[in-house]
Chains A and B, each alone.
Chain A
Amino acid sequence: MTEASWTDAAREHETEFGDYVELLKPRVMRLVIFTALVGLFAAPVATHPVIGFASILCIAVGAGASGALNMWWDRDIDAVMSRTVSRPIPSGRVSPGEALAIGLVLAVFSVVMLGLFANPVAAGLLAFTIFFYAVVYSMWLKRATPQNIVIGGAAGAFPPMIGWAVATGSVSIESVLMFALIFIWTPPHFWALALFRNDDYSRANVPMLPVVAGTRSTRNHILVYTLLLAPIAIAPAFTSIGGSVYLVGSVVLNAIFCFGAWKIWCRTDDVAAGDRFQVEKRFFGFSILYLFLHFVLILVEAGLRVVGFAPVSLPVLM
């Protein structure tokens, strides 16, 4: 083999460092880091900044590992969906074997290091999260049931609970409510996306709700889940992590979110196609802001407690 033919043959498979980073789903990782940080800061026990930083890093790497395992398992359907076709494996930048090896090594590594840096409860929760996302959601549910998102949403809901466990070494009502907030938020968020990305999921044979049950049923589901979400999202106001600022903010956000879900429920497919799914896209965009602002409010309440300022004190019912 001449040098020229060797380099030409190798060019196809020579992976850059950035390709490995992309394998860890950095955008998902950002949300994981943020919610885990909020869980850590909202906890009543102070954590040394170095331990906190190292622990958040472990949680982020664990989330990245499950992302790599998900990309390894879903490489066949990623190749036929326009949203995922440019991912590292379908685009040929990373081989499936490499993705599997990176996913497994980082998964074990992040759990062991979190156990050493923080405590066994946090490490156990991280291990369960990785297992849940890579095995329960990706391998068992995603291609088998239209309820994939409902149950699979748990994987994305664990980070604030892990952050809380890093600080306290336990699970409590506050961390369960933060978990429930993301858990119940996930279905309407993804179903809104699925309404205007229906073709993608149909092509890949992923049984998303609009593909299996139709868009009318999906619109009903979005409304019901959004109404269910409201009391769960407002409930933390009456725990030790909440307060009047959280209550006011959450009520406003939930009113806007419920109004958006109601507007989606009122529409038919013809109307939605007529304005290119404007309402659905706006609802999807707002859902990201909705979740982000809820965690910002928890952070604000934690900050107010540190400085000892409480505009109106609410009863702690839970």
Chain B
Amino acid sequence: MRPDSHEIFGRRKSRNVGLGLVLGAFVLIVFAVTVVKLTQGVSMEGFDHQTRNSLLPAEEE
């Protein structure tokens, strides 16, 4: 019997493949949501310790 043919390696492989697929799916979902939010024009800017005009509340004329 080959040392890497034990049942234990099969279980470990299923765990690694499963986790890999979950991580891959997560990356795809974050990417897809980002694209949708940017397409919809949602502001993606947050506070970054600098004053920016785009983050100031709109003034009524």
**Residues of A in contact with B (beta carbons under 8 Å apart):** 3, 7, 10-11, 14-18, 20-21, 48, 50-51, 53-54, 57, 116-117
Contact A16 B8, CB 8 Å, known A50-B36, A54-B29: no
Q: Nearest chain A CB to B35's CB is how many angstroms away? A: 8
Of the candidates A11, A17, A50, A53, the one whose C-beta lies within 8 Å of that of B14 is: A17
CB-CB under 8 A for A14 and B33, given A3-B3, A7-B6: no
B12 interface residue (CB < 8 Å to A): yes
Across the interface, do B8 and A54 meet the contact criterion of CB distance under 8 Å? no
A16 to B7, CA, bound (A): 11
B32 within 8 A of A: yes
Q: Contact between B11 and A117 (Cβ–Cβ < 8 Å)?
A: no
- Asked if residues B29 and A14 are in contact (CB atoms below 8 Å), the reply is no
The answer to whether B15 touches A17 (Cβ under 8 A) is: yes
Distance between B31 CB and nearest chain A CB, rounded to angstroms:
10
Residues of A within 8 A of B29 (CB): 53-54, 57
Q: How many A-B residue pairs have CB under 8 A?
A: 40
Q: Which residues of B contact A11 (CB under 8 A)?
A: 7-8
CA distance A20 to B16 in the complex (A): 12
Which chain A residue has the least Cβ–Cβ distance from B40? A48
Q: Is the CB of B33 within 8 A of A16?
A: no
Residue of chain B at shortest CB distance from A53 = B29
Residues of B within 8 Å of A, CB-based: how many?
18
Does any Cβ of A come within 8 Å of B58's Cβ? no
> What are 9 A-B contacts defined by CB distance under 8 Å?
A7-B8, A10-B8, A15-B11, A16-B14, A16-B15, A17-B14, A17-B17, A48-B36, A117-B33
How far is it, in angstroms, between the C-alpha of A16 and the C-alpha of B33 when the chains are bound?
30
**CB of B19, distance to nearest CB on chain A (Å):** 7
A11 and B9 CA atoms in complex are apart in Å by 10
Residues of A within 8 A of B36 (CB): 48, 50-51
CB-CB under 8 A from A3, the residues of chain B are: 3
For the complex, give the distance between the alpha carbons of A55 and B11 in Å.
31
Chain A contacts of B3 at CB under 8 A?
Answer: 3
Contacting A at CB under 8 A, from B5-61, are: 6-8, 11-12, 14-15, 17-19, 29, 32-33, 35-37, 40
Nearest CB in chain B: distance from A207 CB, A:
38
- Tell me the minimal C-beta distance from A111 to chain B in angstroms: 15
Q: Is the CB of A54 within 8 A of B32?
A: yes
Whether the pair A16, B40 counts as a contact (CB closer than 8 A) is no
